[in-house]
Amino acid sequence: MYYRDWETQRSIVTGKKVGLKHYENKTGFFSLTLEERRNISKKNGLKQYENKTGMFSLTEEERKKINRKTGLKNYENKTGIFSRTKEEMVRQGEKNGLLTYQNKIGIHRLSFEQRSVIGKKNGLKHKENKTGICGNSRKKN
């Protein structure tokens, strides 16, 4: 991964080793319940966002560079979202779709008219760029 200096790199490697020991022994941060850990992480994430530290101190280009490397590594190692089978992804998508529908969030919070406008706009964009189902890979009859 990309880090700004060697000291940061070294402290992160050391932190990973110590963190792994705590994880295995269920000590330190990992002695807390999942809910407690989530609350602490959320609080710290908000603090970093407000202070523009951590990942929030990076420029958009730096974040994209890191995300590309991480994504490729996950793809090669079959980790993260790439560790799931097609069936698992379909089941998870159905489950998440049902939750968003029940809670009226995401696309489900929009009216039919709003969805229609968005769909037409995106359809025209794909047609112009020859992407999506309008792409060059589409078979000609």
In which band, very low, low, confident or very high, does the pLDDT at 107 lie, cut at 50, 70 and 90? confident
- Is a pLDDT exceeding 60 seen at residue 137? no
Four-point Cα dihedral 40, 41, 46, 49, nearest 10: 140
Q: Considering Cα of 30, then 58, then 80, then 10, what sign does the dihedral take? A: negative
Its pTM stands at 0.41
Residue predicted with more confidence, 141 or 102: 102
- The tokens describing 17, both together, are 């080793």
What's the mean pLDDT when you consider all of the chain?
A: 84
pLDDT tens for each residue of 114-132:
999 999 998 898 888 888 7
pLDDT tens for each residue of 74-92:
899 988 888 889 999 999 9
Domain coordinates in residue numbering, the chain: 6-83, 87-134
Given a contact cutoff of 8 angstroms between Cβ atoms, the answer to whether 1 and 70 are in contact is yes
The distance of Cα 78 from the centroid of its chain, to the nearest Å, equals 16
DSSP alpha helices (H): ranges in the chain? 6-25, 34-51, 60-77, 86-102, 112-129
